[in-house]
């Protein structure tokens, strides 16, 4: 009885320590972490950004072409409209592989999900619409706590700081010979809704839909600068209240113990057995 009580007391102490040590843990694809007391391995998954209809209409007006940024895969459905004399999008999306998931190690609540790759938009020269520019959006990181979406953006952003929202004009910056730069972890969108499970309770596939992407004010200025939009192009982009949605799939499997783990477990059981026999003899 004395041995049993000591064992229970030790287990209770360990449980209290576990609760006290609750903290975010980041698991990369192929890595293993303990969530909800269960060792789990992140096998992979994907995050697919689908452009909204209103965004596609804005891109149509500027005849913007969309291509993929590896390792993402772009799926483009586009046709040529003879009456309009240009290409029209039916749909456009970029599917990017998940690289890591951050979750609470005790509750298993997912805090953020990161992906690799994305899409590049290229705007040709067109009077009043664009002076010709490019913008790449990649490496999304969705923060479920703040409902924010961060990204790596690449383009000519020198005009963003001088963009005048009242007059829809850029300052002297943002010229054709300005450097192309990349800004990592840029706060690009807020999202309004999330559906699907957000807590990892064990092995399986967790599917979510993040919708209602709304661009930040600074993000809008960076879009305008990189795509070098004119008044007509800016007004078309201003009409986009929803940039689309992100469909996310996270695949989790039970962790496979290393041989050394089995050996340690067996050794532990043997030690417990020896201790129990000694306790009975005492």
Beta partners for residue 39, in sequence order: 34
* Residue 204: count of CB within 10 angstroms of its CB: 13
Over residues 251-271, mean pLDDT: 61
Distance in angstroms (rounded) separating the CA atoms of residues 37 and 29? 19
| Upper half-sphere CA count for residue 13 (Cβ side, 13 Å) | 6
Kindly report the average pLDDT of the chain as a whole number: 87
Q: How far is CA 87 from CA 49, 80, 81, 97, 180, in A?
A: 21, 4, 6, 29, 27
Longest Cα separation, the chain: 96
Of 240, 230, 236, 239, give the one whose Cα is nearest residue 168: 230
Structure tokens of 271? 């030690």
Which range has the top average pLDDT, 6-10, 121-125, 164-168?
A: 121-125
Would you state the pLDDT for residue 165? 81
The string of pLDDT tens digits covering residues 98-130 is: 999 999 999 999 999 999 999 999 999 999 999
Structure tokens of 85? 């004399």
The string of pLDDT tens digits covering residues 178-214 is: 889 999 999 999 999 999 999 999 999 999 999 999 9
The domain spans of the chain are: 40-254
Would you state the pLDDT for residue 278? 55
Distance in angstroms (rounded) separating the CA atoms of residues 169 and 271? 76
């Amino acid at each position: 009885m004395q041995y049993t009580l000591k064992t229970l007391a030790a287990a209770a102490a360990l449980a209290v320590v576990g609760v006290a040590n609750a903290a975010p843990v980041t698991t990369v694809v192929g890595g293993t972490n303990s969530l909800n007391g269960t060792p789990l391995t992140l096998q992979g998954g994907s995050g697919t950004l689908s452009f909204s209809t209103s965004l596609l209409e804005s891109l149509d007006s500027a005849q913007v072409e969309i291509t993929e940024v590896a390792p993402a895969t772009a799926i483009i459905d586009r046709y040529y409209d003879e009456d309009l004399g240009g290409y029209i999008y039916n749909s456009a999306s970029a599917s990017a592989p998940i690289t890591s998931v951050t979750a609470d190690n005790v509750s298993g609540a997912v805090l953020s999900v990161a992906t690799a790759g994305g899409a590049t938009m290229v705007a040709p020269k067109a009077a009043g619409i664009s002076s010709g520019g490019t913008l790449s959006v990649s490496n999304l990181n969705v923060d479920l706590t703040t409902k924010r979406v961060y990204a790596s953006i690449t383009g000519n952003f020198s005009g963003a700081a001088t963009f005048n929202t009242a007059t829809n004009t850029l300052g002297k910056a943002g010229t054709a010979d300005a450097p192309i730069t990349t800004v990592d972890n840029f706060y690009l969108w807020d999202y309004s809704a999330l559906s699907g499970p957000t807590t990892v309770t064990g092995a399986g596939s967790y599917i979510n839909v993040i919708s209602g992407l709304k661009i930040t004010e600074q993000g809008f200025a960076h879009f305008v600068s990189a795509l070098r939009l004119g008044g007509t192009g800016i007004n078309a982009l201003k009409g986009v209240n929803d940039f689309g949605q992100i469909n996310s799939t996270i695949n989790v499997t039970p962790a496979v113990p290393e041989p050394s783990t089995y050996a340690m477990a067996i050794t532990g059981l043997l030690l417990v057995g020896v201790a129990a026999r000694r306790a009975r003899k005492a």
